Amino acid sequence: MTHIETEEDTAAPRWPLLFYAAGTIYILIGVTWGLAMSITHDFATSPAHAHLNLIGWVSQALMGVFYATLGRRSPGWMPAANFILINVGVVCMISAMTLMFTGLLTLEQITPMFAIGGPGVLLGFGVFAAAVFVALARSLGVRGRPAGRALAA
């Protein structure tokens, strides 16, 4: 028996697939970059390469797994915010690190890229952490306290 996908069937899996797609692009870049470093014996950019593989590939693949499984218990805006923040952060941070380690630009010149990249990655992980804990709370049946009600002392 075949199943014909409807718009509703495909809406939820979009975010996990976008995380996987971004991660796949990053690992293809990372593997190519690593091969180039090995061939040239120039490892000056290895810290940027490592960050790309870890944040770009590993972290985003894990985020995709979460949103494909337990993340459906998180508010719908969280995967979008997570995806945008982490990807803007990765692109800015890795670009800045590469330009710095190759000596093409000075730290002063790339500070704006770090100023976007670092907080972008941090906020992306923050949204991800919030999504995990919201999903956990919802799976445990925890509800927020009613509005206007004071906490018991």
pLDDT at residue 145, rounded to an integer: 57
Range name among 4-13, 14-23, 75-84, 103-112 with the lowest pLDDT average? 4-13
Which segment of 45-49, 101-105, 140-144 scores lowest on mean pLDDT? 140-144
For tokens 């690190």, name the residue.
97
138/134 Cα distance (integer angstroms): 6
> Under 8 Å CB-to-CB from 74, ≥6 apart: which residues?
67, 130, 131, 132, 134, 135, 138
Task: Return the domain boundaries, the chain.
Answer: 13-138
What are 94-110's pLDDT values in tens digits?
999 999 999 999 999 99
Say if residues 66 and 78 touch (Cβ distance below 8 Å): no
Q: How far apart are CA 90 and CA 78, in angstroms?
A: 18
Confidence of residue 152 (pLDDT cuts 50, 70, 90): low
3-class secondary-structure state, position 25: helix
Can you give the pLDDT at residue 142?
83
Amino acid 1: pLDDT: 46
